[in-house]
Amino acid sequence: MDFSYNNAVLWNFINQMGILAAILLLANIIRRKVPFIRKALVPTAVLAGFIALLVRLLNIVKLENSQLEIVTYHTIAIGFIALSLIIPNRDGNYSRALIGSKTGALITSYYLLQGSLGLIVSIGLAYTIRPGLFKAAGILLAMGFGQGPGQANNVGLTYEALGFVGGQSFGLSIAAMGFVVACAVGVLILNVLERKKLIRRHGESAELQTAAISEYESKNEIPISESIDKFSIQVALVLFVYFVTWLMLTGITKLLETANANIAQTLVPVIWGFNFIFGALLAVCIRGLIRAFRNFGWMTHQYQNNYLLSRISGYSFDLMIVTGICTINFEKLTGLWLPFILMCVLGTVFTFLYLKWICKILYPDYYYEAFLSLFGMATGLISSGMLLLREVDPKFQTPAANNLLLGSSFAIGFAFPLLILIGVAPKSDTLALVTLGCCIGYFLLLLLYMLGFKRKRAGALS
């Protein structure tokens, strides 16, 4: 075998990852050393993504879209699987489960709000001044703003295959704009609240280094001196779950294709596009199975390590952000700038107003912390929400940080019907309108659940 540079198959992927690693390290240095960028709270991965995009557009180095798309697709699933394998802190607090359920409903509701706004724009333009516009394009507002570049890429590619020219770049551009909104608008909100003396910003400090070394060696876990490295076990668990996820989705695909070809044509692309949801649910099941084995005495060690799993998840999401932003192709946005601008503006304004209103009702005791964290998450990712939250709650003394984690878990269940709607919307003009109606209807149902639950709890306390 030829091990030299002539063997492109051997070296190409490694070289691509090496370039991205160098860009990520450069972005970290810039964020640390440039005061303006540091104060703007731009996440290092987002900055690296834009640097990589600039490097690719200027042809300074060769970054292949096909390789980047593969990394974007797989890292979102690996990140969520690692996150779902983490053992939750079971303190027996019933209210935590309830607040997690409410937050999960809230997260899903802003997906639906953003999706409804996007569909109103895309359908409205398609029936008026942009007759050739892909009517289901508006769903990508929820994918880009609400879920970030991973799902914007996956759904955008799916829609592109169904006739939406430039769908992938459209979704990724919305996701990139979402990060800009999370950082720029988020920092603006922080400054306004600080000037009004409603909050006190703490900024980054040593207190934020919450990952203590004790988390690496927890009670009943496999010891460091074991014959296999503890980190290797975590990677093996994650990859095993991902492999089983592939087997499960392959089986579902074959069953659908055998049962009904038309249904399979609608659902299969969406199922594979949302492979991370199935991976996360499967990880939760395997986590429960491991716990049952330990309770029955069939397993003596706790194999998951929360600290290492969170590091795997964090690295996966950082890499996903970098590759997702880097694959944006602005040339494909020709003719799509009007819906892009309208969706981003409406998405920003209505997400801000909705969260400003609902957070006062659901989280009256820590309104600003809840609002800032959820706004960052609703326009970027959970990391954006945590960045804004740490400015006002560096020690995470309020439940806001836990709400993001618990709510994200509950949102997987609440958001499951969106899988069907995303697959159905592009099939016809009528189904696009039906999807819009379903999004609005489901949004109102979740709103009733959250507000009704709040009144019930208030009545019980009185």
- Confidence at residue 207, expressed as pLDDT on a 0 to 100 scale: 42
Q: How far apart are CA 425 and CA 210, in angstroms?
A: 43
- CA separation, residue 43 to residues 9, 52, 86, 211, 303 (Å): 33, 14, 24, 19, 31
Q: How far apart are CA 181 and CA 345, in angstroms?
A: 10
Contact indicator for 362, 370 with CB cutoff of 8 Å: yes
| Mean pLDDT (10-residue bins), the chain, 462 residues | 80 91 94 84 83 90 85 86 78 56 92 96 94 93 86 86 89 88 86 83 49 49 66 93 95 91 77 81 89 84 83 86 81 86 96 95 91 91 78 78 78 82 88 94 94 57 38
- Confidence at residue 220, expressed as pLDDT on a 0 to 100 scale: 60
Phi, psi (degrees; rounded to nearest 5) at 460: -65, -35
Contact indicator for 74, 243 with CB cutoff of 8 Å: no
- Confidence at residue 111, expressed as pLDDT on a 0 to 100 scale: 94
Distance of CA 55 to the CA centre of its chain: 25
Distance of CA 453 to the CA centre of its chain: 27
Phi, psi (degrees; rounded to nearest 5) at 356: -60, -35
Closest CA to 31 of 8, 16, 15, 48: 48
Contact indicator for 192, 344 with CB cutoff of 8 Å: no
Side-chain-side CA neighbours of residue 62 (13 Å):
7
- Confidence at residue 141, expressed as pLDDT on a 0 to 100 scale: 95
- Residue 296 has a CB neighbour count (10 Å cut-off) of 8
Domain residues of the chain, as ranges?
67-461
Q: How far apart are CA 434 and CA 436, in angstroms?
A: 5
- Confidence at residue 95, expressed as pLDDT on a 0 to 100 scale: 52
Contact indicator for 274, 151 with CB cutoff of 8 Å: yes
Contact indicator for 164, 177 with CB cutoff of 8 Å: no
Q: pTM score, two decimals?
A: 0.74
- Confidence at residue 360, expressed as pLDDT on a 0 to 100 scale: 93
221: helix, strand or coil: strand
According to DSSP, the residues that pair with 302 across neighbouring strands are: 221
- Confidence at residue 219, expressed as pLDDT on a 0 to 100 scale: 57
Closest CA to 392 of 208, 142, 184, 238: 208
Contact indicator for 101, 410 with CB cutoff of 8 Å: yes
Q: Which residue has the tokens 């970054």?
A: 63
According to DSSP, the residues that pair with 221 across neighbouring strands are: 302
